[in-house]
Amino acid sequence: DHIEQNHINMNIADIDIDLYPKNTDVIVKVNGMEIPINNLPYQHPTAKIQIRPKGEGISVYAPSHGINEVYFDRNSWKVKVVDWMKGQTCGLCGHADGEVRQEYRTPSGRMTKNAVSYAHSWVLPAESCRDTTECRMKLESVQLERQVNVHGRESRCHSVEPVLRCLPGCFPVRTTAVTVGFHCIPADSALSLHNIYDSSADLRETAEAHLACGCTAQCA
């Protein structure tokens, strides 16, 4: 029970467009209605939106709405905005303004040091492990699996950047190592995680991030 799916949903001018793989094809739906591949290219009757096959996938074009191209295939996706949208975007794609020093700013406002941790920070946490349409993951501070010596004292450390972990009742079926900052306190001291993401990073270490999860039938 750990089928992974790539699925893009776009809402352009109140028009819903879904792209997702099924068997060897890419399925296209507009406002819930499937558009057969042999009916492409598709031009929306009221909005300046066109959908065309491209290579192994499908591309959506809506330049008057700020989208130069959204490309999707079974293994990848790519978003290109038009020039006049530079500096007006947000989220995973950043501001699209060519500035690179603040490229990896997370939803909390913290700057990460690497692309993997940055991408994970924008994953929407799941509400329930029973909902198969969600990723069944949440973002949380994790404890470094070993104690370290900081300023001459044995210390335990928690990450100041959120790490993807499976929901309770679920288990990881695919993981990756991600480098994040950790805040450390003496091992015999109490640590509140309430403001952990506002804490300074004392060191950077790798942590295990979960990329896909399976869940038991009895998951909470």
| pLDDT tens per residue across span 88-138 | 888 888 887 777 777 788 887 778 877 888 888 888 888 777 776 667 888
Q: Is the pLDDT of residue 206 over 80?
A: yes
User: Based on the structure, what is the number of domains in the chain?
Assistant: 2
Q: Is residue 98 part of a domain?
A: no
In a domain? residue 47: yes
| pLDDT reported for residue 1 | 41
The rounded distance, in Å, linking the Cα atoms of 43 and 128 is 37
Would residue 107 count as lying in a domain? no
Task: Clarify whether residues 119 and 211 are in a common domain.
Answer: yes
Judgement on whether residues 140 and 190 belong to the same structural domain of the protein:
yes
**What is the per-residue pLDDT for 148?**
85
Q: Where are the alpha helices (DSSP H) in the chain?
A: 115-121
Per-residue CA distances from 155 to 81, 143, 178, 194, 201 (Å): 46, 11, 21, 19, 13
**Residue 125 belongs to what domain range?**
115-215
**Region for residue 143 given its phi and psi (left: phi exceeds 0; alpha: psi -120 to 50; beta: otherwise):** beta
Q: Decide which of 2 and 63 is more confident.
A: 63
Position 131: which residue type? Answer: D
pTM of the model: 0.69
pLDDT at 106: 83
Q: What is the pLDDT of residue 132?
A: 67
Provide the b/e sequence for 119-149 (b: ≥16 CB within 10 Å): ebbebeebeebeeeeebbbbbebbebeeebe
Mean pLDDT of the chain, nearest integer: 85
Q: 140 with 82, same domain? A: no
pLDDT digits (tens, 9 = 90+) for 120-129: 888 888 877 7
Bigger pLDDT: 3 vs 147: 147
Whether residue 220 is predicted with pLDDT greater than 60 in this model: the reply is: no
The conformational region for residue 31 under phi > 0 = left, psi -120 to 50 = alpha, else beta, is: left
